[in-house]
Chain A
């Protein structure tokens, strides 16, 4: 039973027209069965009903650079609230003549971040570069050494948001790593202290930590010693974020195969050396993507300092809204802020996803 097809020159048949090209795409992705067709029609209807009126409100009938009186005449969005109050929203109470300093500090931060996101920059020089950068930013904001001092009570607006998030992360990371190592320790005291800390902090809302720091810390200190308000909030954010970093780093440590620990031991390395030279470099690399996630959360969480009356960019916006001239335009102001936060956070999370793929650690 043999059969050998003289292989016909393959007829150049085209696939059915409803399967390829634009029509094919539309057919398969939007209308391939009655249910999907129904969904598509519903979705299109929903969009049709909501998008045009919003567009009209936001772009057609809106004012962008007018004064408050002109805004009251129109039905559309009053985006002018932002440009008219931009200085205050972004820089808050920082003395006007010194406002170039937080501006430079923020630009420096963005340059540093941009430089760091390129993986080619990940070498030994990166750490000292960041340390210098942080010092310079601190000096610019605070003063001393030639610049007039501006006390932290005046730090507000976007610089405050960025500082709280950045230093929060920077301060929390070493503490988090220590806690993670502590939790994995076999010594009962260390292990228990770490577990208690981590579970306690992760179990309570950030706002209780902020309350604790703003109300309780003054009581902890001996008479006469005062604690800077911004510093209190910063400490609370650091303590809070450290617990979450600890869990993420613990995951990284667990992912390192036992063989690595054993190899380090058999070389005769002490605990500290093994961690520093072999385990932590690998573990921290693994946990970079989830760490960026924590940074994004920390950035969003800085908005909570509104509740303890610190003037981050959300609070400065709220203060602008309580100005009788600009009252009633909350939607515009909050939408603007939302876009601002969205751009920052979306950029960070896109980067994190890109990084995960590149490091082959996504799953």
Chain B
């Protein structure tokens, strides 16, 4: 299952595609993210794990500005995230997000869900958008459901559509917020398979998940977060076999 290094070594020479410097975030008085420093290179696959409440979802939601940080800097593909609306829009067009609860638009067909972004944000002609959409639907192996509505699909099917929807915007980075946590066990594999294919093709991915098998097979780095800080990060082998920190050891003993 060690198929991550087939010539897709993350490039270390160019500027990182995501850079977070000294980032802090508070919810009121609660210090939810503390001194986050992170550099993500293009084509890197990073898995973030940790107990609930550790701030891992909040961290990736800051990257596409679904949450605002109060201190520090976040730079995505050279664009710094501030209150500047133009920058936020540019960043969101380059960063795709897959949610725990899919969030497909129930009033639109599958195809319409996919073409919404390309038509209204990238201003593509409809035909072109639909052709691209069908291509991505085939990629996630769900092309036959194109004309159906989200309510008619199972959870696993919906999540695969959600991944295709993000891919239609041709993002440079994909964020995954616990993509399989809301799925029944028999559907988790179909979604993970899609994510593994994506990783093999060289997509830069940040994945918040508890699926350690996925981490072992695909990730370049595994990060452990606790109480708003990045406690430990390592390549998967060393991370799982040789955790350095007490908290990491405790967490791993609880989930493995």
User: Do residues A13 and B229 form an inter-chain contact, with CB atoms below 8 A?
Assistant: no
Chain B: minimal CB distance from A274 (Å): 33
Interface of B is mostly: strand
* A104 shortest CB reach to chain B, Å: 53
Chain A residue with Cβ nearest B232: A4
A12 and chain B: residue at smallest CB distance? B31
Q: A5 contacts B231, CB within 8 Å? A: yes
Return A52 CB to nearest CB of chain B, in Å.
Answer: 35
Q: Is B56 an interface residue (CB 8 A)?
A: no
A20 touches B29 (CB 8 A): yes
Q: Does B233 contact A (CB under 8 A)?
A: yes
Please tell me if B238 contacts chain A, counting CB pairs below 8 Å. Answer: yes
Contact with B along A182-218 (1 / 0, CB 8 A): 0000000000000000000000000000000000000
> How far apart sit A16 and B247, CA to CA, in the bound complex (Å)?
29
Residue of A nearest to B239 (CB): A2
A1 within 8 Å of B (CB atoms) = yes
Q: Given A15-B26, A15-B70, A19-B70, check contact A10 B233 (CB 8 Å).
A: no
Q: How far is A19 from B70 in the complex, measured between Cα atoms in Å? A: 9
Q: Is the CB of A4 within 8 A of B244?
A: yes
Decide yes or no whether B206 CB sits under 8 A from chain A: no
Q: A15 touching B231 by the CB < 8 A rule?
A: no
Question: Would you call A8 an interface residue if the criterion is a C-beta within 8 Å of the partner chain's C-beta atoms?
Answer: yes
Q: Does A350 count as interface, using CB distance less than 8 angstroms?
A: no
Closest partner residue, chain A, to B231 (CB atom): A7
Cross-interface CB contact of B71 among A1, A10, A16, A24, cutoff 8 Å: A16
Q: In the complex, are the beta carbons of A2 and B26 less than 8 A apart?
A: no
Which residues does chain A contribute within 8 Å of B247, judged by CB atoms? Answer: 7
Minimal beta-carbon separation of A6 from chain B (angstroms): 9
Q: Does B34 contact A (CB under 8 A)?
A: yes
Q: Does B154 contact A (CB under 8 A)?
A: no
Given contacts A15-B26, A16-B71, are A8 and B35 in contact (CB under 8 A)?
A: yes
Q: Contact between A5 and B232 (Cβ–Cβ < 8 Å)? A: yes
**How distant is B222 from chain A, measured CB to nearest CB, in Å?**
10
The reply to whether the CB of B235 lies closer than 8 angstroms to some CB of chain A is yes
Contact with B along A1-32 (1 / 0, CB 8 A): 11111011011010110011000100000000
Chain A: minimal CB distance from B129 (Å) = 34
User: Which chain B residues (199-256) contact chain A, with CB distance < 8 Å?
Assistant: 220-221, 227-235, 238, 244-245, 247
Within A51-91, the residues touching B (CB, 8 Å) are none
Closest Cβ–Cβ distance, residue A243 to chain B (whole Å)? 33
Residue B28 CB within 8 A of the other chain? yes
Is B24 touching A4 in the complex (CB atoms < 8 A)? no
Which residue on A lies nearest to B221, using beta carbons? Answer: A1
Which residues of B lie under 8 Å from residue A11 when comparing CB positions? 34-35
Report the bound CA distance from A7 to B37 in whole Å: 13
17 contacts between A and B (CB under 8 A): A2-B234, A3-B232, A4-B232, A4-B234, A4-B244, A4-B245, A5-B229, A7-B245, A7-B247, A10-B228, A11-B34, A15-B28, A15-B31, A16-B71, A20-B26, A20-B28, A20-B29
B: residues with CB less than 8 A from A are 24, 26, 28-29, 31, 34-35, 70-71, 220-221, 227-235, 238, 244-245, 247
